[in-house]
Amino acid sequence: MPNVSPSERRAHGKALRKTVPRSSHSEYSPEGRPDPVDLITSQDTHRIQSLVPIRHGRMAESPFAFYRGAAKIMASDLSRTPVSGLNAQLCGDAHLANYGSYASPDRRQMFDVNDFDETLPGPWEWDLKRLAASIVLAGRDNAYDDAEIESTTKQSVTGYRQAMARFADAGTLDIWYSQLSLKSIQQALPTKKDRKFVAKGAKKARSKGSLKALSKLAEKVDGGYQIKNEPPLLVPLRDLPATAEPEDLRTAAQNSLKNYRTTLSDNRKRLFERFTMVDLALKVVGVGSVGTRCLIALFQGRDEDDPLFLQIKQATGSVLEDHLPKSEYPEHGQRVVEGQRFMQASSDIFLGWAPGLQGHEYYWRQFHDMKGSADVDVMTPSQMNAYAGICGWTLAHAHARSGDPIAIAGYLGSGDVFDRAVTKFALTYADQNNRDYASFKDAIKSGRIEAKSD
């Protein structure tokens, strides 16, 4: 904020407490909310219809699985909650499973927010509340007691507030260059058991790359590699039925490839041009994304043992755009990519975007590049507590890169008033999610919607 001193920015944030008290962030009311099942099914219209029941089936596995696919529901609910008026670039779907590790361009294992399909500028509180409620749900799935769940949830908010206070005192470039590596996380943990837990996950993630993907997803045919046919989760375009219009998808991918190259910097464009596309396949990924057009592309470099797997993922409108100003970017693929570049400390060298066919837009990234996620299902309460604080720090850093950390820190203050308020909201909202989950399961049972397992 040019020509505005740090003290004035901090005072501005602090003054906002008078109009939006920090304690007000505990508030949630279900009054007048849309039917949650209608919101979920409204997203199914433009998806690949044969995959929609799989999406429903994955969401039906548990309350937390449902929550992962219910970003549209929570965006609607958050739009009626108090906000300070300070904005940042939002992830838009900042639940616990959307943080993880990946390789930086210099091949270090970094930890950061790793999903940006819903990214858009907006109230920073929305991301934090989505994170906090997900921790409640994960804790309940793990059968933690109520005190452990409340403590762990509060730790995520405290971690955010304390990190934002540090960023408020840091230089502008220091914030931008700040990074969190798996090595630094491991070294900071107090017990040998916890350090071994992180080291095990890091080792598993390091093994993930295009060569590993080649061994799992491809097979040799007539002396060359092609992607396996493992329906319905992995289907090469050559094996799609005629009713699925494989040629349209292939043409869309080829057109997208031409335009994607233009979004890379010249040095990365030169690198990418050393690879040739060998095969294309539809690949079902995630929970909320199931049914969108997601492809993996196998490229070959020097020879068949020099592979590169890229993911070509459909970019649809952000669920936040129902409640916030539309993106300034003309393409949703660009919205996703630019949002990721704002929020992540370092990003995939092959990250780019392109339009496709028939109104579908795409973004491109590496499919496997030391990507890993924490196994929250087996975490002890103390491990989850530490992880919640790490996620809070990570989200604060992502917001500090695009928002005003001094004003946000001024609003948050040094006490735990805000921490307690968001924790109370999270506990209340987790109950709402469980009611929505029950309605969703009833809709499946009654035949209102179809669900099937993978």
The per-residue pLDDT for 243 is 54
Q: Which residues pair with 219 in a beta bridge?
A: 226
Give pLDDT tens digits for 268-277: 999 999 999 9
Amino acid sitting at position 335: R
CA–CA separation, 260 and 30 (whole Å): 43
CA–CA separation, 137 and 127 (whole Å): 16
Query: What's the length of the chain?
Result: 454
Predicted confidence (pLDDT) at residue 255 exceeds the cutoff of 90: no
CA pseudo-torsion sign 275, 281, 286, 288: positive
CA–CA separation, 41 and 217 (whole Å): 31
Give pLDDT tens digits for 80-110: 999 999 999 999 999 999 999 999 999 999 9
CA–CA separation, 252 and 246 (whole Å): 10
The per-residue pLDDT for 114 is 93
The DSSP line for 9-58 is HHHHHHHHHHHS-GGGGG----TTPPPHHHHHHHTSTTS-GGGHHHHHHH
CA–CA separation, 239 and 233 (whole Å): 13
CB 286 within 8 A of CB 242: no
Give all strands (DSSP E) within 54-190, no chain letters: 87-90, 99-103, 109-113, 120-123
Q: Which residues pair with 282 in a beta bridge?
A: 235, 295
Give pLDDT tens digits for 22-38: 999 999 999 999 999 99
CA–CA separation, 415 and 182 (whole Å): 29
DSSP 290: B
For residue 330 the two structure tokens come to 């003309």
- Identify the residue with better confidence: 35 or 241: 35
CA distances from 321 to 260, 327, 363 (A): 24, 8, 18
The per-residue pLDDT for 358 is 59
Stretch 243-265: mean pLDDT: 76
Residues 6+ apart with CB under 8 A from 131: 94, 95, 96, 156, 391, 392, 395
Predicted confidence (pLDDT) at residue 245 exceeds the cutoff of 80: no
Predicted confidence (pLDDT) at residue 207 exceeds the cutoff of 90: no
Amino acid sitting at position 387: Y
The per-residue pLDDT for 223 is 85
pLDDT tier at 61 (50, 70, 90 boundaries)?
very high
pLDDT tier at 253 (50, 70, 90 boundaries)?
confident
For the entire predicted model, the pTM comes to: 0.95
Q: Which helix (H) or strand (E) holds 220?
A: strand 218-221
For residue 138 the two structure tokens come to 């994960």
The per-residue pLDDT for 265 is 93
The per-residue pLDDT for 66 is 97
Domain parsing of the chain, residue ranges: 6-206+374-446, 210-366
Residues 6+ apart with CB under 8 A from 107: 370
Predicted confidence (pLDDT) at residue 198 exceeds the cutoff of 90: no
The DSSP line for 203-242 is HHHHT-SHHHHHHHHEEEETTEEEE--BTTTEEEGGGS-G
pLDDT tier at 356 (50, 70, 90 boundaries)?
low
Q: Give the distance from CA 323 to its chain's centroid.
A: 19
Burial 387-418 (b: 16+ CB within 10 A, else e): bbbbbbbbbbbbbbbbbbbbbbbbbbeeeebb
Predicted confidence (pLDDT) at residue 136 exceeds the cutoff of 90: yes
Stretch 166-182: mean pLDDT: 95
Give pLDDT tens digits for 275-296: 999 999 999 988 989 988 899 9
The per-residue pLDDT for 189 is 81
* Nearest CA among 88, 99, 149 for reference residue 393: 99
CB 116 within 8 A of CB 336: yes
The per-residue pLDDT for 242 is 60
The per-residue pLDDT for 2 is 64
Percent of the chain with pLDDT strictly greater than 90: 79
Kindly report the number of other CB atoms within 10 A of residue 268's CB atom. Answer: 17
The per-residue pLDDT for 247 is 56
Predicted confidence (pLDDT) at residue 357 exceeds the cutoff of 60: no
Predicted confidence (pLDDT) at residue 401 exceeds the cutoff of 70: yes
The per-residue pLDDT for 141 is 95
Q: Which residues pair with 309 in a beta bridge?
A: 298
Predicted confidence (pLDDT) at residue 246 exceeds the cutoff of 90: no
pLDDT tier at 354 (50, 70, 90 boundaries)?
confident
The per-residue pLDDT for 374 is 86
Stretch 366-395: mean pLDDT: 92
CA–CA separation, 360 and 332 (whole Å): 9
